Every structure is written in structure tokens, then in C-alpha cells.
Amino acid sequence: MPPKTDPEVGCVIPEHGEWPVDPQEDVEIREERLWIDGCFDFFHHGHAGVMLQSRRLGNELVVGLHGDEEIATNKGPTVMNLAERVAAVNACRFSSKCVPHAPYVTSLPWISHYGCQYVTHGDDITSDASGNDCYRFVKKAGRMKIVPRTPGISTTDLVGRMLLCTKDHFIKSLTDSVEGKEGNGGEEERTARGKEMEKRIHEYAAAPNGKDPYVAIYTFKSKHRSPERRRSSVRRNSTSGSHDTGKGTFTPLVSGLAPRPGQRVVYVDGGFDLFSSGHIAFLQLVTALEQDLGRERGWYTDEARSKRLEEDGGEDYPPAYIVAGIHDDEVINYYKGINYPIMNIFERGLCAVQCRYIHAVVFGAPYTPTKTFLASLPATASNNSLPDAVYHGPTSFMPATTATDPYADAKTSGIFQQTPDHDFQDVNAAQIVQRILDRRVDYEERQRKKGAKGVGEGALRREEMEQEAEEERERRRGEVERQFGA
């Protein structure tokens, strides 16, 4: 017997037991349950933004994710494969469920099966390989809701930065940008852009419902000039200047939830550039390790859960409060070179803020989390104590080019934990850029279709610059080893 098909779209309607994810039985259709679908290729804050706007329209958001082959047929090659894109969608705090292999042209039987009355999409047009609106059948049925598209970011923009090696997306000071003191344009334009940035930071910090307070956000300004800034200046060979001890000022941007009774405070840091499955799997590991510790100390017993529900107004919470430190653009560029980071600190920060595994974010966190810095974190400062743990993965994306181990203080204090390898261990910004370079012709064609100019010559130069940057990193490692020993 041939499979059932949607007579309008032509896609297969799975039988019981063949739907990509449960439930296998049809779900009652509700107005507060919404569907959104897309490619969501190397997940960025624009994707999180459309999910946030969609989640605010209801209580649940089901996210349909197109398969790699359908995207290649209708749009072009993906940068991230389906498993990597599923990980990104599942990590978004505003997503309730991810449905992989969703049809590229939205199918009413599919959204009805998962109990969704309406489909949401940004206010741009998505077409299939024939040039037809992918949402034409949903619109015809009166089951479409349009939400604002996040301006200033897209997959096309990011691929363009990689191929053209541009740096004009860098931000020197997030605080100055938010206050309208940094950036292109006149004072009025900068002020308006800064207010929009601040608004977006507040919005992305919301709870899963897209409305209530959740993530606490701070900026950090070091009292002393960081080693990276000193080394990258004209006086990079000078030994003058104050030693960076980690002293500085934390300024609150968003008042989210503070650590709650019994939670362990955990610190992680990094660039989180092109926020991807590698970062997400690391954060999942940290969460899982803390859950295991929670089980050992009785966190999940009925008695402990009942006590938390009684004391916290009927809402439970996890055993760990995870604080993510985000490095400045200049710090990452010093260690990685070329035009890294591909995303600036505002964009990278929003990606971290929207992640369900993170509870607080520090913009401008130092590359070296000293004991002084860790003890002054807002999550620990009230107790004048260090975090319960500092986690880091076995990554070489930003290799140390100094003799000092950046996690020396955490190790000496007995709070450092290295996470084990995971399935996406090698997925980072450099590896994603290499994927683009390996299929340069395909992505150049994709960029041309989107109206991007001059990508061919830039891509060739990118390959040369990647090699030059690697040679420079090796030179620095050699200097350190010669001076201090391997």
C-alpha cells in the first residue's frame, strides 16, 4: 500500500510509529500551540529572535526542521548537518519541541498532527525550488501568523564575513555601543541603534515563555588593561603597565534570577563564536555532570523537590546555576587572528543568552579567570566565595600562547573540571569556516543568488590568511616553549 501523501504539498504523511518524534497519535489542535519551521543553519540570534516572538503568541512552540537533502534541493548546501541543527534548536530556551525532517513546503497535516493551530514566520518571503511561497497552503487556510524578522543578521551575512574576511562587524566596547558612543553614523543613528541593542538583550534574557525575567546579564570592565590589549598595542613589547589581577567593575544590564537556595554556582567561559553544536554539547555536558552531582546529594528526592516547590512559589529549578563569560572581540582576535570572531560580542552574547543551559552572562569576561575575578562574580560576591566549579572543554580553538595557564587559579583552588569529549568535539568557528572554504564554489554561488559581491577573490585570500594565522600561532607556541619549556 503506497504511503499517504499531502495532496497539496505532495509530501509523505507518516503513519503511526513513523513520525520523526513523538507523539505518534494526532494531538488535539490548540490555538496556544504554534508551529515554526525552517533550516536554522548555523544557529544565530536571528533564529532565536523569531522563536522568541513566536513563543510570545502561545504556550508551546513546535519547531519543524528541514532535512539536509530538501534544503540542498530548494536553497543550496547547508553549513551544519541535521544532527547539529537539531542540537541548536533543542538548546533554544523558547523552543518546546524539535521535529526534524519537516517538509520544506509547510504541510497542514504535519502541523495538525502535532496539535498546532497556527504557523509563524518572519516578515520575509521563503520560496521553494519553483519560486513558490512555502507557506501558500497555510496562508490559504488562514493559519498563518507573521512576526518581525530580526534585522542586521542572517546566514548570508555570516558566510559573507567568512569569505570576504571583513572586520567592520567588530565592537570595541559593548557598553559604548549600547550607549550610542560607538559605531557608524551620526549621534542620532548611534543612539537609536544602541537602544535597539539594549532592548534585544532584555528580550532574549526572558524565561521560556518569552516574557518573564530569567537570565541575569552583566558587563565587566577590567581595572587594568588586559594582557591581550597590551600585547596588541604599539607597545606590545613593553613590560610596563599594571598586572591584570582580575579586578574590575560589574555593571548590570538585565536583572534576571539570582542563584536560588542549594544551587551550585558554575562558571564557564569562551568566545562562543558561531554558537554551534560544539558549544551546546559542552554546555549539555556541564549540565549533566551537575545533575549527577545533584542526585548524589539528594536533589531529586521527593522530599527535596517538595521543599523547593513550597519555598519558591511552586516552581522547581535545577541543581546548578551556570554563569557564562563571553570574551571581547579584541581578545579573540588576538589569539585567533584574521577576522575572528565572525560574530561580534553582541551577537555571540545573544546566542549565549538564549541558550536554555545558561542562567547568567558576563559580557567582556577576561581570558584568564583569576581568583579575584571569580570571587567578585555577582553570583558569588554576596558570599565572598569562589564558584563551586569552573568547567572547560579540551579545545584548541583559542590555544594558549603565553606561559601562564589561564585556569591556573581555578586549578589551584580545586574547582576546575575538564569535560570529557563529546560527539561535536571538533565543531567550532574555525572548523565551520573550513567547511565553507572546502565547498567554496557552492557557497559563492549561494552568495551571488543572495546579491553578495566579490566573494570569489575574498575566499581565495581567506585560505591564505588561515594558513598565515596558523603559522603565527605556531611561532608564538615555539617562543613560549623555548622560554619556559615545553
In the chain, where are the structural domains located? Answer: 30-151, 156-431
**Matching CATH topology for 30-151 and 156-431?**
yes
CA distances from 257 to 55, 321, 364, 389, 457 (A): 20, 10, 20, 19, 48
Residues of the chain with pLDDT > 70: what percent? 84
Q: What is the 3-state secondary structure (H, E, C) of 392-437?
A: ECCCCCCCCCCCCCCCHHHHHCCCEEECCCCCCCCCCHHHHHHHHH
3-state secondary structure of 53: helix
Q: What is the mean pLDDT of the chain?
A: 87
Peptide bond just before 341 cis, omega within 30 deg: yes
Question: How far out from the chain centre does Cα 297 lie?
Answer: 31
Peptide linkage before 378 cis (omega within 30 of 0): no
Tens-level pLDDT at each residue, the chain (486 residues): 678 999 999 999 999 999 999 999 999 999 999 999 999 988 888 899 999 999 999 999 999 999 999 999 998 888 899 999 999 999 999 999 999 999 999 999 999 999 999 999 988 778 888 889 999 999 999 999 999 877 777 777 888 888 888 899 999 999 999 999 999 999 999 999 999 999 999 999 999 999 999 999 999 998 876 666 655 554 344 333 445 678 999 999 999 999 999 999 999 999 999 999 999 999 999 999 999 999 999 999 999 999 999 887 778 999 999 999 999 999 999 989 999 999 999 999 999 999 999 999 999 999 999 999 999 999 997 777 999 999 999 865 455 555 578 999 999 999 999 999 999 999 999 999 998 888 877 766 655 665 554 444 455 555 666 666 666 555 544 443 343 333
Query: What CATH architecture applies to the domain 156-431?
Result: 3-Layer(aba) Sandwich (3.40)
Q: For 30-151, CATH number?
A: 3.40.50.620
Q: What is the pLDDT of residues 308-328, one digit of tens each?
A: 998 877 789 999 999 999 999
State whether residue 466 is helix, strand or coil. helix
Helices (H) and strands (E) in the chain, counts: 19, 12
Contact of 144 with 118, CB cutoff 8 Å: yes
